Amino acid sequence: MGEAVPPTMRAAVLRSVKDLAVEERPVPEPGPREVLIQVRSVGTCGSDVHYYEHGRIGDFVVRAPLVLGHESSGVVVGRGSEVTRHEVGQRVSMEPGVPCFTCAQCRAGRYNLCPDMRFFATPPIDGAFCEYVVLHEEFAHPVPDSMSDDAAALLEPLSVGVWSSQKARVGPGTRVLVTGAGPIGLVALQAARAFGAAEVVVTDVLPQRLETARALGATTVNVAETSLADAGVEADVLIECSGFPPAIGEAIRRVRRAGRVVLVGMGGDEIPLPLAHVQSFEIEVTGTFRYANTWPTAIALATGKEVDLDRLATHHFGLDATEQALTALARDENTIKAMVHPDRP
Ligand SMILES: [Zn+2]
Ligand SMILES: [Zn+2]
């Protein structure tokens, strides 16, 4: 083993709503099939911000101190007794959810739907805003040296984008509408283009977000100024990333016959559905929950030139400034992803 692993580490712990503090904790011991990973980069996600501000997301409630952060990368610094996949020193992107491997959903290959999933930063499982984590070796994915720590961390949101294009069956020539140009909209856009979409129209109300979407290859519509109908938008596929219920119905009406609607954004618990349009056009409407088996594709896309993840990492903080990372978007709407670097103070 290279550098000696210390017995304790620093971890940014959410103690209660809007109360986050850096604490000293024992470094976790890897189980037989687990690797110990020194964390290098962690993206802050809307879900982290939501837990920080509200202490819960739906039925998931923070009842005990919780470490947030689930978009992470690092380097292997220790191995459990039965680990065969990784050597110490391997740089990895972390797939943050480890399923049970044995239930009906896991056996069917839909492990994202495993009811016994243990997922980083989802109560009561701790996440990656800390110096070291343990992870099952199969969910620590090696990344090439050409990929930055930030890009390796952002393979997690890219996986959401890849999964949305897979669920929507985006292929060569597909015309795609992505509603919402936040971080998830921007990875959905990039994945759809990499899957061969003929055109990707991206909507938002913030000009600077639309500018980023255009730089990444989108045609854009500012829906604060122009309706989708007036803009003449028609799509085979809608990938809904805004989570803004009033906008979703209008977007679904722009989907063509036999089109697909994939609901990625999280907004209200219930949305109005233009049922007559969905029925007469035989439109498929589906939800998505995280992803399954997406890392190999995400790594390939981010290694090539199809996808630019580094561009999304706009703000950087050390571990002591994790709270600033979680509030970065609220302070500056130019923030796309605020990254936390636990190996820095
Ligand atoms: Zn996330
Ligand atoms: Zn399972």
Q: Where are the domains of the chain?
A: 8-154+309-341, 160-287
Number of the ligand closest to the Cα of 155: 1
Q: What is the pLDDT of residue 336?
A: 96
Question: How close is the Cα of 308 to the center of ligand 2, in Å?
Answer: 33
Residue 277 neighbours by CB under 8 Å, 6+ apart: 252, 253, 255, 283
Confidence of residue 1 (pLDDT cuts 50, 70, 90): very low
Question: How close is the Cα of 117 to the center of ligand 2, in Å?
Answer: 7
For residue 145, is pLDDT > 90?
A: yes
Instruction: Tell me 227's DSSP state.
Output: -
Pick the CATH number of 8-154+309-341 from 3.90.180.10, 3.30.390.30, 3.40.50.1820, 3.40.640.10: 3.90.180.10
Number of the ligand closest to the Cα of 47: 1
Total-model pTM: 0.96
Question: How close is the Cα of 109 to the center of ligand 2, in Å?
Answer: 9
- Domain covering 160-287 assigned CATH 3.40.50.720 in the classification: yes
Q: How many residues in the chain?
A: 345
Confidence of residue 47 (pLDDT cuts 50, 70, 90): very high
Question: How close is the Cα of 219 to the center of ligand 1, in Å?
Answer: 25
The mean pLDDT of 9-15, rounded to a whole number, is: 98
Can 8-154+309-341 and 160-287 be said to share one CATH topology? no
Number of the ligand closest to the Cα of 264: 1
What are the pLDDT digits (tens) for 79-124?
A: 999 999 999 999 999 999 999 999 999 999 999 999 999 999 999 9
- Judge whether 235 and 258 are in contact, CB under 8 Å: no
What are the pLDDT digits (tens) for 233-250?
A: 999 999 999 999 888 999
Q: What is the pLDDT of residue 266?
A: 82
Judging by beta carbons within 10 Å of its beta carbon (0-12, 13-18, 19+), is residue 278 exposed, middle or buried? middle
The mean pLDDT of 277-287, rounded to a whole number, is: 97
Our separate counts of H helices and E strands in the chain read 11, 20
Q: What is the pLDDT of residue 3?
A: 66
Confidence of residue 272 (pLDDT cuts 50, 70, 90): confident
> Cα separations (Å) of 113 from 99, 110, 141, 287?
9, 6, 20, 12
